[in-house]
Structure 1
């Protein structure tokens, strides 16, 4: 069964996600990040410039060739349908991602914004109602 984590109170959702992806990449994890526009494009741009000392290898699904998708440890997409692997799914959208249950781990990143917190509660209820054990983490403020 997919392990579900909620990372609450991210002051800067984009920066936190970049840090999370850097950590996952260092551990050798394959990650799919689900986001809608304009956040999808903002994350793509941020991953190119986030860390001046290293590069976070990634691609955007839908615009990348199949061999690039399969070789990329970080894939950014608007849905899980093009996901080439099923290790970790990071959800930055406001909805429960279709097909999340095929991933080993799901991470929901939630900002301090009230609306974001409200829709996160609905997703939490969705997972809990289906018997998923949920781990709650409080985000600590850190710089890149």
Structure 2
């Protein structure tokens, strides 16, 4: 069963300019990380039980760079929280890609291709005692 929106990812061309805007809007400092294995730099903001994640490609290669080049800036991923990815996939009879580790080691699984809704839909497994 889905419990809430875990995170929403925005692809951005200029992470620093985007951080400036969202810091003003949300009144908080983000957690900023470079993920060289994914060719991106990210900034995460907490909003209640959810995260808003700004993602900037740091090279011209990779999925995020391709999305930015093809579609421009904007939302490209919505991830729903669940206590069990396997159970949710069975209950909803969803097709999916392989499970993998996301930021902070979250177990994640994409459940729709980008082309289907214009954004990737994803599941993130969260422990029952931790909202994010």
User: 1 or 2, which has the higher strand percentage?
Assistant: 2
Ranked by relative contact order (alpha carbons within 8 Å, sequence separation 6 or more), the top structure is 1
User: 1 or 2, which has the higher helix percentage?
Assistant: 1
